[in-house]
């Protein structure tokens, strides 16, 4: 699309990061009209729009943004399985936000500090993502250290999504990042937040046979297909439509 086309940008990495942002943006957008309170609905929509902005830049680096978003099949998407997980209850959405925003914040801070092709984008995104991370942490504290019900729901959500978090630290081709160091800082941060929220770090496996995660290779979970159908049907029904 632009002058800085596929020749200079690692397409695999642009797709991986762009698909993460696009898919999570769509999931968060699903809360519109359903969030527990109006104020929170606006907060989630704001986060979704930040992510959509990032996705547009990243996908444009990899090719035509509309074609990539609306005309690819499920197996061509390179997003993490974590971000495609259904919203569930509010606690599930917050747990997903906590795991992903912490990862995204650490990753973009690293990319912004380097001089790779993603540095300019990351420098802008890191400020947005810092707010997403703060939002998730604030809510984790309140739900975990809230009522008996909210604590139980938050615990269940953190446990359920834990097995998707190992995939976050699979190296992405074209990103010059110390993944092991990123992972240890992520674990340290999430452990600290969960501890303050009177929650314990889930014990299940994050890597190996019983963990999840081959989204970067195009393997996705069951609910992703339905999400994609909803996201793409308008563009596919009315090709080239605009307003």
Cα 148 from Cα 126, distance rounded (Å) = 34
Say if residues 202 and 158 touch (Cβ distance below 8 Å).
Answer: yes
Identify which of residues 49 and 177 has a Cβ nearer to other proteins in the complex.
Answer: 49
* Nearer to other proteins among residue 49 and residue 219 (C-beta): 49
Stated as kind and residue range, the H or E segment containing 132 is helix 119-144
**Does position 124 bind other proteins by CB under 8 A?**
no
CA 25 and chain centroid, separation: 8
89 part of the interface to other proteins, by CB under 8 A: no
Rounded to 5 degrees, φ, ψ at 63 are 165, -145
Number of Cβ within 10 Å of residue 211's Cβ equals 16
Q: Quick check: 36 binds other proteins (CB under 8 A)? A: yes
Q: Is position 46 an interface residue for other proteins (rule: CB under 8 A)?
A: yes
Residue 171 binds other proteins, judged by CB under 8 A: no
Three-state DSSP class for 122?
helix
Q: How far is the CB of 54 from other proteins (least distance, A)?
A: 16
Give the residue, chosen from 37, 208, 209, 243, that forms a contact with other proteins under the rule CB under 8 A.
Answer: 37
Q: Does position 73 bind other proteins by CB under 8 A?
A: no
Q: Which of 64, 67, 89, 134 touches other proteins (CB under 8 A)?
A: 134
Of the candidates 211, 213, 99, the one whose C-alpha atom is nearest the C-alpha of residue 158 is 99
Least distance CB 36 / other proteins (angstroms)? 6
């Amino acid at each position: 699309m632009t002058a800085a086309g596929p020749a200079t940008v690692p397409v695999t990495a642009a797709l991986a990061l762009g698909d993460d942002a696009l898919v999570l943006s769509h999931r968060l957008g699903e809360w519109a009209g359903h969030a527990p309170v109006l104020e929170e609905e606006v907060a989630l929509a704001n986060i979704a729009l930040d992510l959509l902005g990032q996705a547009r830049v990243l996908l444009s680096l990899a090719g035509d943004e509309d074609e990539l978003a609306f005309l690819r099949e499920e197996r061509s998407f390179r997003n993490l399985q974590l971000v495609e997980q259904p919203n569930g209850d509010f606690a599930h959405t917050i747990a997903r936000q906590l795991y992903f925003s912490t990862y995204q914040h650490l990753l973009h801070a690293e990319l912004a500090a380097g001089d790779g092709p993603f540095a300019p984008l990351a420098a802008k995104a890191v400020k947005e993502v810092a707010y997403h991370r703060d939002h998730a942490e604030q809510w984790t504290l309140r739900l975990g250290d809230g009522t008996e019900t909210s604590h139980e729901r938050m615990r269940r959500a953190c446990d359920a999504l834990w097995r998707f978090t190992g995939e976050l630290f699979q190296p992405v081709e074209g990103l010059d990042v110390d993944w092991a160091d990123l992972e240890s800082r992520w674990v340290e941060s999430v452990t600290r937040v969960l501890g303050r929220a009177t929650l314990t770090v889930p014990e299940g496996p994050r890597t190996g046979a019983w963990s999840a995660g081959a989204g970067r290779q195009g393997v996705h979970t069951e609910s992703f297909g339905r999400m994609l159908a909803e996201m793409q049907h308008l563009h596919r029904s009315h090709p080239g439509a605009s307003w």
